Chain A
Amino acid sequence: MAARRISSLFSRSLSLPTAPASLGFGRGMQRFTSSAAVIDEPIIPPLQINYTKLLINGQFVDSASGKTFPTLDPRTGEVIAHVAEGDAEDINRAVSAARKAFDEGPWPRMTAYERSRIMLRFADLAEKHTQELAQLETWDNGKPYEQALTAELPLFVRLFHYYAGWADKIHGLTVPADGPHHVQVLHEPIGVAGQIIPWNFPLLMLAWKVGPALACGNTIVLKSAEQTPLTALYVAKLFQEAGLPDGVLNVVSGYGSTAGAALASHMDVDKLAFTGSTNTGKVVLELAARSNLKPVTLELGGKSPFIVCDDADVDHAVELAHFALFFNQGQCCCAGSRTYVHERIYDEFVDKAKARALGRTVGDPFKNGIEQGPQIDLKQFEKVLRYIKSGIDSDATLECGGDRFGSKGYFVQPTVFSNVKDDMLIAQDEIFGPVQSILKFKDVDKVIKRANATRYGLAAGVFTTNIDKANTISRGLKAGTVWINCYDIFDAAIPFGGYKMSGIGREKGVYSLNNYLQVKSVISPLKNPAWL
């Protein structure tokens, strides 16, 4: 399966309200089956697709094979554009361009301040082109345009401001020695970074990967997801405009088994970052192990618990849990996909969660007020429906939804299951769709054990006003992020990544930098040192 990942969304600086009850996405409270989407006649954005080729060494070029692949509109399954399809040979060309740009080019040799200014100029350009980028992202991905425009694009710009600010703040250390030696540690760029990004948040994942790599002075070969190749190409063009030297950022559109595997196996790639499914992540790491031992960071799948304690304001909890799962059509690897609710408030919660799901507005993502667009493609669409069937077959109670939405494209009804048991498939596997599973719990110790009884460990939500419970649960959960009384807060400075089989390493924040740095110890003897 291709890759996927979630964004930051609810932050005051993005001028969206933070209290879930008044979320922008929660405004359209009508029953989804009656929502007024016109899916039969999709709204076509006033946009020309200008960039469909591979970007190698600063030039848009055809793939070596001359092949292309269609990228589809998830609302209809129709072709948006034919895009050059990169494979092993194109990866070779892109890596040698990146290698040359690193070994000989100006990029790692210019000052960090100059690098930061190019990144800041790029952020300005991205801001200037916010509408086009948001339209392109929605067209290719199917996510609500309002979400792309008012949350993701501002965050995209914010991330490049953040990383540009890091460029001239990458300090090494001087180290106290055990004898008369002068010891320093240099933090050097690692070289050519291979980066493979998913289709669920194409722009944000680009920022998480490209931002720290550039800030640290590396060069890049980026492979975008075959479902969503368009925005990365557009962005790469803006980078050229901002002054990025040729060969520093190369973009290869294509498939995982060809282009992706070639990148992961390449002997001249010094670092690999991948976001996607756990199964693919294992293959990526194996390819790195078998080739040149490039260090690998992985951001993989999840089955994150959202724990609602008995002291909860149920309305508030329902809204937050709804958001935690349904956001981005449920296509978030940190989706709160196991909603654990205390038995005392369980029935009330289920009723309200059902009502909220029924009120979710599904429709053409370019339409105002729409909360949910189509799933990314047919394969995901079918997989989600299969899981819904499995939930019914395993005797969970279907509270609402359960089928496709409309008759065209990949829309799925917001679906809620209650009476879900830990051993049901829908409580164990990552569904990656708009399917909420609500489980019941009795005491905190047990819910911690159940929440941890998974191979995943990406994120968790805790809903309580009790400080002891919050502290106990947040230490007890094996998860890379714990959101307390909030969810999907994705500020640039907050590290994100998985425990267990949800991944290796952290992205964002100060932690992300060392993914793109090599550490070099430099030691020389001291003659007559004034101090040690």
Chain B
Amino acid sequence: MAARRISSLLSASLPFLSHRGKQSYLSRGIYHYSKSASLDNPIKPPVTVQYDKLLINGQFVEAASGKTFPTLDPRSGEVIAHVSEGDLEDVNRAVASARKAFDEGPWPKMTAYERSKIMFRFADLIEKHNDEIAALETWDNGKPFEQSAKIEVPMLARLFRYYGGWADKIHGLTIRGDGPHHVQTLHEPIGVAGQIIPWNFPLLMFAWKVGPALACGNTVVLKTAEQTPLSALFVSKLLHEAGLPDGVLNVVSGFGPTAGAALCSHMDVDKLAFTGSTETGKLVLELAAKSNLKTVTLELGGKSPFIVCEDADVDKAVELAHFALFFNQGQCCCAGSRTFVHEKVYDEFVEKAKERALKRAVGDPFKAGMEQGPQIDGEQFKKILKYIKSGVESGATLEAGGDRFGTKGYYIQPTVFSNVKDDMLIAKDEIFGPVQTVLKFKELGEVIRRANNSPFGLAAGVFTQNLDTANTLTRALRAGTVWINCFDTFDAAIPFGGYKMSGIGREKGEYSLKNYLQVKAVVTALKDPAWL
């Protein structure tokens, strides 16, 4: 399965959203989903596809094989554009160009300040083209246009300003020696970075990967997901307009087993970052191990618990839990996909969660007020319906949804299961769709054990007013992010990544920089030092 990942969303600096679900614009269109917009005539996106080739050494070029692949509109399954299909030979060309740009080119040799200015100019250009980029993202991915235009594209600009600011703040250390030695560490760019991004947040994943790599002075070969190749090509063009030297960022559209595997196995790639499924992540690491031991960071799957304690304001908890799961059509690897609710409030919660799901506005993502668009493609669509069937068969109670939505494209009804047990498949596997599973718990110790009883450890939600409960849960949960009374807060400075089989390493924040730096210790003998 291709890759995927979630964005930043509920931040007060994005004034149209508050962290309290009830006031979220996403929940404004409160009508029953089955009555929402007609899906038979998709709205024509306000954008044209300008870039459909590979970007290698600053030039848009055809694939060496001449092959293309169609990228589809998830609303209809129809072709948006035919895109050059990169494979091994194109990855070789792209890596050679990145290698040259690193070894000889101006990029790592210019000042950090100059690099930062190019990144800032890029952020300005993103802002200028906000709606165009957002339309492309929605067209290719199916996510609500309002979400793209008001949250994700602004966040893309914000992330590049964040990383632009880091470029001239990468410090090494000087170190006390145990003897007459002058010791320093240099934090050097690592070289050519291979980056493989998923289809669920194509632009944000672009920023999480490309931002720190460029800030640290590296060059990049980026492989986009075959489902969503378009927005990366568009913004990469803007990055060159901003002054990025040729060869510093190369973009290869294509498939995992061909282009992706070639990048992972390449002997001249110094670092690899991958976001996607756990299964593919294991393969990526294995290819790195078998080739040149390139360092690998992985952001993988999850089955994140959302724990609603007995002291909860049920209405707020329902809204937040709903958002935690259904956001982005449920296509978030940190989706709060195991909703654990205390038995004292369980029945009320289930009733209200069902109501909320029934009101979710599903429809053409280009229509105003839509909360939910189609799933990314036929494969995901079928997989989700299979899981829904499995939930029904395993004896969970289907409270809402349960089927496709409409008759065209990959829309799925917001679905809620109650009476879910830990050993059911829907409580164990990552569904990656709009399927909420509500489980019951009694005691804190018990819910901690159950929440941790998963090969994943990406994120967790905790809903409580009690400080002790919050602290106990926060420390005990084996998860890379714990959101307390909030969810999916994705500020640039907050590190993100997984415990256990949810991944290796952290992205965003200060922590992301060391993924793209080598540490060199330089030790010099001292003669007659004034101090040690």
Contact = CB atoms under 8 A, between A and B. Distances in A.
Contact of A484 (B281, B480, B524): B524
Chain B CB within 10 A, most for which of A278, A475, A500 = A500
B19 interface: yes
Contact of A494 (B497, B501, B521): B521
Main secondary structure of the interface of B (DSSP, over half): mixed
Contact of A293 (B178, B489, B503): B503
B484 A523 contact: yes
A444 interface: no
A289 to B, nearest CB: 4
Interface residues of A, number: 73
B500 A496 contact: no
Contact of B493 (A158, A177, A298): A177
B242 interface: no
B523 A455 contact: no
B491 A485 contact: no
Could you say which of A18, A175, A270, A283 has the most chain B C-beta atoms within 10 Å of its C-beta?
A175
Nearest to B183: A494
A454 interface: no
Interface in B166-191: 173, 175-181, 183, 185-186, 188
Given A177-B491, A181-B489, A504-B295, A293 B523 contact: no
Given A455-B292, A489-B177, A521 B481 contact: yes
Interface in A488-522: 489, 491-497, 499-501, 503-506, 509-511, 518-522
A505 B190 CA distance: 12
Nearest to A288: B285
Interface string B469-499: 0100011000111111110010111111101
A520 B481 contact: yes
A18 B179 CA distance: 9
Nearest to A487: B523
B179 A518 contact: no
Interface in A164-181: 173, 175-181
Contacts of A495: 185, 519, 521
A185 interface: yes
Contacts of A500: 270, 292-293
Contacts of B497: 519
B450 interface: no
B61 interface: no
B288 A285 contact: yes
B274 to A, nearest CB: 11
B79 interface: no
B7 to A, nearest CB: 13
Contact of A278 (B180, B293, B492): B293
A482 B491 contact: no
Contacts of B178: 8, 11-14, 158, 491-493
B31 interface: no
A493 B11 contact: no
A518 B489 CA distance: 20
Contacts of A506: 519
Interface stretch (B202-210, B389-397, B434-442, B504-512): B504-512
Contact of B175 (A486, A493, A522): A493
A509 B518 contact: no
B183 A181 contact: no
B286 interface: yes
B525 A484 contact: yes
Contacts of B175: 491, 493-494, 509
B177 A491 contact: yes
B158 interface: yes
Given A10-B179, A295-B504, A501-B292, A175 B520 contact: no
Contacts of A293: 278, 281-282, 285, 298, 300, 500-501, 503-504
A46 interface: no
A523 B482 contact: yes
Interface residues of B, number: 73
B519 A497 contact: yes
B525 A486 contact: yes
A12 B521 contact: no
Contacts of A173: 510
B179 A12 contact: yes
Contact of A489 (B181, B188, B486): B181
Nearest to B298: A293
A33 interface: no
Contacts of A285: 285, 288-289, 293
A347 interface: no
Interface in B263-319: 270, 278, 281-283, 285-286, 288-290, 292-293, 295, 298, 300
B13 interface: yes
B522 interface: yes
Contacts of B58: none
B438 to A, nearest CB: 23
Nearest to A286: B289
A234 interface: no
B245 interface: no
Given A178-B13, A293-B503, A479-B520, A520 B286 contact: no
A270 B285 CA distance: 16
Nearest to A502: B293
Chain A CB within 10 Å — which of B11, B181, B282 has the most? B181
B481 A179 contact: no
A497 B505 CA distance: 18
Contacts of A475: 186, 188
Nearest to B162: A178
A34 interface: no
A186 interface: yes
Given A518-B480, A525-B485, A178 B11 contact: yes
B173 to A, nearest CB: 7
A491 B532 CA distance: 13
Given A480-B520, A484-B522, A492-B178, A181 B486 contact: yes
B42 interface: no
A281 B293 contact: yes
A42 to B, nearest CB: 34
B504 A485 contact: no
Nearest to B477: A520
Interface in B11-33: 11-14, 19
Given A179-B12, A475-B186, A520-B474, 12 more contacts: A8-B178, A11-B181, A12-B179, A176-B493, A180-B19, A289-B283, A289-B288, A489-B183, A493-B178, A519-B497, A521-B480, A525-B484
15 contacts: A158-B178, A178-B491, A179-B10, A185-B509, A186-B475, A270-B500, A293-B278, A293-B281, A293-B285, A485-B524, A494-B177, A501-B292, A510-B173, A511-B519, A521-B496
3 A-B pairs with the lowest CB-CB distances in the bound complex, closest first: A179-B12, A12-B179, A289-B285
